[in-house]
Chains A and B, each alone.
Chain A
Amino acid sequence: MNQRAYASDEQPMIEVSGLKKSFGSTAVLKGIALTVPRGGVIALIGPSGSGKSTLLRCLNLLTIPDAGVIRVNTQTMDFTGSSRLPADRILAAFRANTGMVFQSFNLFPHMSALKNVMEGPVTVRKMETAKAEALAIELLTKVGLKDKASAFPGSLSGGQKQRVAIARALAMQPRVMLFDEATSALDPELVGEVLAVVRQLAADGMTMMLVTHEMAFARDVADRVIFMRDGVVVEEGAARQVIDAPRQEATRSFLSHFHAGRGEGAAGATGLRR
């Protein structure tokens, strides 16, 4: 264990190279390479259809890449020269160490908020129920929803659902959190409460990748921004540099849609998206 922890301290948390994915004849990812340092927060931006969500889903193998190598912490998956789908057990073990938050929340509607958060630890980690419950309460408290522990998803607001979903992902004690447009389905006035939780995670030193349209938030919270278009990384750099002074014409053109939101609070940027 010590050795593993020692070895992993030297390495970036996420390393991706030569990542390719096609759906039918459409190439969605055309050879992506990136690294995310430990505790790094990366925002993935780009127009719809640029492949950013697919890239994120490849990182926890919800989408299986056609080619490339993905390493997250100590686990490596190599897809070069093999067309065989990895076994269910291997996929599950890999996914258990990354948390993912979805645009449409995807809470389990037949379980209370508490049970949603306990599900991963109990079913996957085989944690004792009492222990899992304590962990779930702790995490619901962290996202400000302790009093909603017994509520079912159907009775929660969008922002509350998304915070439960974050707590559910955190319950697996992941090394990496992936956010796939986590605020895109929310009413503007609910975006802030979710972003506050993400901001807190960043402050706690969680390694994160966020696909987002919240440019002000990306600029503020992310260390680095990656701009993608047509399945390739067009520009990557420090968040403020990419958003305030993009080097590539494509980035400039994309960001011009968000122009007025720059530098304002998250809610301001959301308002301008409409």
Chain B
Amino acid sequence: MNYHWDFGFLWQYHRLIWIGLAYTIGFTILTALSGVTVGGCIAMARLANAKFISIPLVGLVEIFRCTPVLVQLVWCYYALPILTGIELSPAAAAFITLTLYGGSFYAEIIRGGIVSIDAGQWDAGRALGMRRIDLMRRIILPQALKRMVPPLVNQTILQLKNTSLLSVLAVPDLLYQGQLITSASYRPLETYTMIAGLYFVVLFPVTQLAHGLERRLSRQSQ
């Protein structure tokens, strides 16, 4: 109860903290982009209704959705090189894992958004003589995107928090830098409080943005 809180010492580590923040945000942006790309491809392939493509993809998605991302990270870094013979740097292993993990969730969000569009929209586009790709681009996706945006933002927020797991592979993200600072300063309470604060400062505006976007989109579709 008599603990004397002192955040002043953290200033000397500000370079480490900036690097950590850059890794965290950078990894989030990169793996969100690659994850949405992979997820979009998986969703489209599954919607194409070809069993020999969609069954393996469903398998992949379910493996990534039903195992902890921490286990996936460790497995990808230690076990995958043994299976494939390709040595992966911690950052590469982390990138691949988070891409596929995020991609699995993004895929379901994108697929769900597309199949939620009324079958009558497909009928109407087909009846006009539209090709499948034009129909998707001009009719289905513009409507589906509105429904996808809120869950995509949510998933991306989770993605950012999941980057904290990179610390187990010694990727210098925000949390890993916190661990470094703690082991040098022996002041974990201040350090982790600051780390938590930084995550909050980054993500709170994002959630607010998502709220605003959601409101605007639902007003538009009236």
Contact residues of A with B, CB < 8 Å?
Answer: 60, 62, 88-89, 91-100, 102, 104-110, 119-120, 123-124, 154, 165, 168-169, 172
Contacts and interface: CB of A to CB of B under 8 A. Distances in A.
Given A119-B138, A123-B138, A154-B222, A107 B124 contact: yes
A100 B127 contact: yes
A92 B127 contact: no
A172 B130 CA distance: 11
B128 interface: yes
Contact of A93 (B127, B129, B138): B129
B34 interface: no
15 contacts: A62-B126, A88-B131, A89-B131, A92-B130, A93-B129, A95-B127, A95-B128, A100-B123, A106-B118, A106-B120, A106-B121, A110-B143, A119-B138, A124-B130, A165-B124
B129 A102 contact: no
Given A119-B138, A123-B138, A108 B124 contact: yes
Given A102-B120, A102-B123, A168 B128 contact: yes
A106 B123 CA distance: 8
Given A88-B132, A123-B138, A172-B129, A109 B124 contact: no
Contacts of A98: 127
Interface of B: 118, 120-121, 123-124, 126-132, 134, 138-139, 142-143, 221-222
Given A102-B120, A123-B134, A154-B222, A108 B139 contact: yes
Given A62-B123, A96-B128, A108-B121, 6 more contacts: A99-B127, A106-B118, A106-B121, A106-B123, A110-B143, A172-B128
A62 B122 CA distance: 9
A123 B130 contact: yes
Contacts, number: 69
Given A62-B123, A102-B120, A120 B131 contact: no
Contact of B129 (A97, A104, A108, A110): A97
A208 B139 CA distance: 26
A102 B124 contact: yes
Nearest to A94: B129
Contacts of A172: 128-129
**Which residue of B121, B127, B134 has the most chain A CB atoms within 10 A of its CB atom?**
B127
Contacts of B129: 92-97, 120, 124, 172
Contacts of A100: 123, 127
Nearest to A120: B128
Contacts of A168: 124, 128
Contacts of A124: 128-130, 134
B48 to A, nearest CB: 11
A106 B138 contact: no
Given A102-B120, A123-B134, A109 B143 contact: yes
A102 B120 CA distance: 8
Nearest to A91: B126
